[in-house]
Structure 1
Amino acid sequence: MGDARLTVVVITHNRCGELDRTLSSLERLPERPPVVVVDNGSSDGTCELVATRHPDVTLIAAGTNLGAVGRNVGVRRAHTAYVAFCDDDTWYDPGALSRAADLLDAHPTLAVVTGSILVEPSGTLDAICEEMASSPLQRPPGLPGHPLLSFLAGVSVVRRSAFLAAGGFSERLWLGGEEELLACDLVRAGWHLAYVPEVVAHHQASALRDAHLRRRHGIRNTLWFTWLRRPPASALRRTGRLLVRLPRDRVSVQGVLDALRGVPWVVRERHAVPPEIEQGYRLLEESQLSGRSRRYVS
């Protein structure tokens, strides 16, 4: 009969072939979830493909590239308690979505379940999963998996009400490390986030991406989050440590300059986290800086 608790929201931009593969995979899931595709202004026939090959999918043609904000549009269209995010180059194992929904049912303070990622075509575990599994954060009693202070949107299932109450993804951040700010605001509101390895997803990274632009935005958004939510001393320390690690190239300079141009907005919107949340960020800093998953290269 399928699982009526979830909707899958997919954002896409000019990856017609990969989206076709992902939608075909979603259609084979035993959960038979309704799927909402938000097309971020594709010019490669994406809308036509969805309409002809996947007629049961709800298609929203944004008309422009909204980046991660396209997920907000999809969540507003969904009418289920939970929403599974999926990128056009990711997909879920059979049963993974129901497993995540079961956990969200069982734990009313849990807002996000992030799954493990098998990198295709090799099927190896993504390095970021090792980092999440070794989280030094204290696990709240009774909650599943490993506690997080951020998440990976393309392989995560969220509680729709919590997502909407927190405002969704920031239009200003657009795309590239956009999860950190939303995750922080969820935690500040009393929600929990967890990495649950038993919820399995797959990622076959698309070659159709501007790696330099993604890195540029990632640098900018990391700095913006640091300045928006970390206390002054921590923000200064993390900024310095990040700048030391960045490659000395044009993309890094552009990312830092982009961040500096947003300082007036940061000053207006700054709202530092309380000490108990800041303690968690400080615990995570070492593993983030030394981990294999954050190299800032493109």
Structure 2
Amino acid sequence: MINKPVPPVVETDEVTVVVATRNRPDRLRETVPHHRATTIVVDNASDQPLHVPGAEVVRLDENIGAAARNTGALRARTPFVAFADDDSYWAPGSLARAVEIFRAHPEAALLTGRVLIGPDGRLDPVSAGMAATPIGTPAGAAGPSVLGFLSCAVVVRRSAFLAAGGFNPRLFVYGEEALLAMDLAAAGHQLSYVPELVVRHFPEPAGRDNRARARREARNRALTALLRRPPAVAARTLAEVARTQPAALPHLVRDLGWALRHRRRLPEPVELALRRLAG
């Protein structure tokens, strides 16, 4: 259960909160009142049009998955964009603090915050992993370097996000963050974990098809390797997917040609960092 919403407060006019959603109006009614900045809700062709008090709603004609966030970022007019899911929100003070950090760190393109799950505020294991990253903290960076993130827990420099192409529509959802992280790092930007920025996340305990999610995550992991990693890494990833998620292979095969046509190797420092993360 989400805490009672606070009265609407705009703590910064330099951030736009972008929320992509589909068929979850009840969750939006709970979370949107917590957003402390201008908010754009991008509706991925919900069955019924959404009305969300306190937010601008952009309704899409079709469900484009994570790329709906690109639509919100394009519509925003602020230098920074914070992404949230329809079941999450940024804790008070986090957005204003993110602006201060970006101003102090001009090389930063992405700040990812500490995610606390549920009413009891359990630390998300992904956040714990980021705090212990083996790729360290570069001199002058805002925090430990990351090459991945949870999409509901990042604030981005809008210009860098758009220049990198945002979330690739071909990946749709689940695991779409990895490719964007690689491309931002390849462009020379810093991506940092900043635990003082806090996200509250209230995922529903049931209702999602976990098997379908696992298939799509496996497919996207393989496509991302084909798009950016060395041949040996791509081959190992394909073999792992074939062994652990064979049901993902038909979905993967359809996009192999596209991935090979858009293949682009990462700069060596980024590739080395990915290898360190993989152990």
TM-score by length of 2: 0.92
Question: In structure 1, what is the equivalent of residue 29 of structure 2?
Answer: 20
**Alpha-carbon contact 1:114-1:157 (below 8 Å) kept:** yes
Which whole-Å deviations, capped at 9, do the CAs of 1:105-133 have from their partners, x for residues lacking one? 11111011111111103311011111111
Question: Would the aligned equivalents of 1:15 and 1:208 in 2 still touch at CA under 8 Å?
Answer: no
Does 2:2 align with 1:4?
Answer: no
What letter corresponds to residue 282 of structure 1 in structure 2? R
CA contact (8 A) 1:80 1:160 kept: yes
How much does 1:236 deviate? 2.3
Secondary structure, in 3 states, of the residue corresponding to 2:139?
A: coil
Structure 1 residue 47 and structure 2 residue 50: aligned? yes
1:89-238 matched pairs, under 5 angstroms: 89-206=87-204, 207-238=206-237
The runs of at least 4 aligned residues of structure 1 exceeding 6 Å deviation read none
8 Å CA contact 1:10, 1:85 repeated in 2: yes
Residues 38 and 59 in structure 1, CA contact (< 8 A), matched pair in contact too: yes
Stretches of structure 2 that go unaligned for 5 or more consecutive residues are 1-9
Residue of 241, 248, 267 corresponding to 1:255: 248
Please report how far the alpha carbon of residue 209 of structure 1 lies from its aligned counterpart in structure 2 after TM superposition.
3.0
How many Å separate the matches in 2 of 1:65 and 1:172? 12
Structure-2 separation of matches of 1:239 and 1:101: 40
**CA spacing shift, 1:24–1:46, aligned 2, 3 Å:** farther
For 1:210, the aligned partner's letter is: D
CA contact (8 A) 1:16 1:46 kept: no
Aligned to 1:99, the other structure's residue is in SS state helix
TM-superposed CA distance for 1:164, in Å, is 0.6
Matches of 1:275 and 1:21, distance apart in 2: 44
Q: Unaligned regions of 5+ residues in structure 1, if any?
A: 27-31, 247-251, 287-298
**Counterpart of 2:14 in structure 1: which amino acid?**
R
8 Å contact from structure 1 (residues 14, 46) kept in 2? no
Alignment match, 2:4: none
Amino acid at match of 2:218: I
Shift of 1:38: 0.3
Matching residue of 1:284: 277
Distance of 1:136 and 1:2 partners within structure 2: 34
Secondary structure at 1:202 match in 2: strand
The offset of 1:150, in angstroms, is: 1.7
Q: TM-score, normalised by structure 1?
A: 0.86
Q: How far off its partner does 1:243 sit? A: 4.9
Q: Quick check: 1:39–1:61 contact (8 Å CA) kept in 2? A: yes
Q: Match of 1:138, SS?
A: coil
The letter for the 1-side match of 2:44 is N
* Identity score, percent: 41
Distance 1:137 1:243, change over 3 A: farther
The letter for the 1-side match of 2:24 is: R
Which of 266, 274, 296 is the matching residue for 2:267? 274
Q: Are the structure 2 counterparts of residues 42 and 208 from structure 1 closer, same or farther at C-alpha, using a change threshold of 3 Å? A: farther
Q: Per the alignment, in what secondary structure is the counterpart of residue 176 of structure 1?
A: coil
Q: Does structure 1 retain, via aligned residues, the 8 Å contact 2:16–2:80? A: yes
Distance in 2 between the 1:208 and 1:7 partners? 29
Between the two proteins, the alignment pairs up a number of residues equal to 269
Residue 38 of structure 1 pairs with residue 38 of structure 2: no
8 A Cα contact 1:151 1:193, kept in partner: no
